[in-house]
Amino acid sequence: MSEKSYLERLAEMHTKNELKMLEGDSEFEFACLQCGKCCHNRMDILISPHDFYHLVRETGKEPMEVIRKYMNVYIGEHSNVTIMQLRYREEEDGSTTCYFLGRKDGKYYCRVQAHKPFVCRAFPLGRMNAYKTDEKEPNINYEPKYFQQPDPNDGCEGLEVAKRNGIMQKVVDWLGGSDMKEKSDRYSQLFNRYSAELFRTINLAELRRLDNQEVANKYYQMMFIGFYLNYDFTADEDSFLAQYEENWEKIIDMSRLLAMHPNGKLVPRIA
């Protein structure tokens, strides 16, 4: 199932109230067997600026070195925004493995466990964004919503083992504790709020269809720098989140100006 069709299925389940939303104190059935199956043959591990901040600090490498060694960067086909994806190591048998996956005593483990990407840390939970691109009301609830994914990775036996043995996990503990969850939720709220504002400000699909692609290329270069690089990576997490918000403000301002005068043409906003 493609990423788009999977997201469409989640949205449909949410609309039909078939997707149970979980609070921080909620419990869910799951047991991690450290089988490593969810760390092989993946092409869907997207790295947020928040994830990237943690990986730079955890690896001790320069930001561009982390990108060159571990990441793919591209423009999203549907979102039309800059996306960073975790790149996997290619094995001789044609399979792929996460660069951060280690193995000891027959069990797999993450070499960046305390700072691994949110998608990896949350599995089998998912996080749903709470915004609409056409919303006009200023008081939108941008609180992230958590749920247990209906289709864990093929071959993952954690759910069945948990069901057989009555193993339960608490959401807040699974996400790394209250402080880590609070920081992650703050990031998600900022992302949701500013993403909604961006899509109200400029039609990125139209921007990518401009005759003069130099304008679009420069815009996306600035977006990439603003999203992922324009930080003091030695600063604490609260400072990072403040910098992230400042960077979003600059991207919105840039988008607003471009929507008005992109090389003499108007880039229509989404109604």
The per-residue pLDDT of the chain, averaged, comes to 87
Mean of the pLDDT values across residues 17-42?
A: 90
Q: Are 41 and 91 in contact (CB under 8 A)?
A: no
The residue to which tokens 């928040």 are assigned:
50
pLDDT of 239 over the 80 cut: yes
The predicted structure's pLDDT at residue 215: 85
Element spanning 54, H or E: helix 49-59
Q: Are 23 and 169 in contact (CB under 8 A)?
A: no
pLDDT of 23 over the 70 cut: yes
The predicted structure's pLDDT at residue 267: 53
What residues form DSSP beta bridges with 71? 86
DSSP state of 231: S
Q: How far apart are the first and last CA of the chain?
A: 30
List pLDDT tens digits, range 180-204: 999 999 999 999 999 999 999 999 9
Q: Assign 175 to helix, strand or coil.
A: coil
Q: Where are the domains of the chain?
A: 202-271
List pLDDT tens digits, range 81-140: 999 999 999 999 999 999 999 999 999 999 999 999 999 999 999 988 655 544 555 556
Mean of the pLDDT values across residues 163-169?
A: 95
- The torsion angle over the Cα atoms of residues 134, 135, 136 and 137, rounded to 10 degrees, is 180
